[in-house]
Homo-oligomer: A and B are copies of this chain.
Amino acid sequence: MPKRDHISMSVVRRLPRYYRFLSELRDKGVVRISSRELSIKMGLTASQIRQDLNCFGGFGQQGYGYLVDQLQKEIGNILGLSHSYRAILIGAGNLGRAVATHMSFEARGFTMTGIFDKNPSLIGGEIRGIKVLPIDQLESFCRQNKPDMAVLCVPRDSVAQLAEGMYALGIKNYWNFSHYDLTIRHSDVIVENVHMSDSLMTLCYRISEKNKD
């Protein structure tokens, strides 16, 4: 389906945003949109939108624009959201719980299949209908369920070693919230590091710059 065989990361990082805007338009019942109208809503140029979409295919109709519903679905497919990759959560504290309950994994290509913690007071509890298991059951769980991805909501000091072990159990993909830039030297590993506090510091910078004037 892709017209080009390699897509630049800056385009990829814009796809989820296109997906969100189109989903919202579709929910509002908007049938058709031109690159120009969309560009105004999203704060991009019409050129860029057409350029981006054309990395993957010609989804529009000349003289008419794009069908919102169809384009939203196409981008969902490009993102692979109809997959159902098996995810597990490591760390059922405040942050883990928030991530597990706030993200609709199902709508984003994943199913949550297991939750683990080492804190006895959390073990046995339930999050979204899934029991929190002790971390020492991780190995047998992985053998049985072969999860595709792990959400890491553990303290920063434990994450490197933990990921090491999980890689040995066959987990190759990580969504990492641990405030530590996880890098794994294996070429088949994908890590998405999320650093919420980077965004807070950037906000601090921008406020400070503004206040200088």
Contacts and interface: CB of A to CB of B under 8 A. Distances in A.
Contact of A80 (B19, B195, B197, B204): B204
B192 A202 contact: yes
Interface string A4-28: 0000000011011101110000000
Nearest to A206: B190
Contacts of A78: 205
Interface of A: 12-13, 15-17, 19-21, 43, 78-81, 83, 85, 94-95, 97-99, 101-105, 108-110, 148-149, 173, 175, 181, 183, 188, 190, 192, 194-210
B16 A195 contact: yes
Contacts of A101: 94-95
Nearest to A103: B197
A55 to B, nearest CB: 12
A59 to B, nearest CB: 17
B80 A207 contact: yes
A110 B15 contact: no
Nearest to A189: B210
A87 to B, nearest CB: 9
A197 B149 CA distance: 15
A94 B109 CA distance: 22
A196 B19 contact: no
A192 B183 contact: no
A200 B15 CA distance: 12
A103 B200 contact: yes
Contact of A12 (B83, B104, B148, B205): B205
Contact of A196 (B97, B99, B203, B209): B99
Nearest to A9: B202
Contact of A16 (B110, B183, B188, B201): B201
A189 to B, nearest CB: 10
B99 A202 contact: no
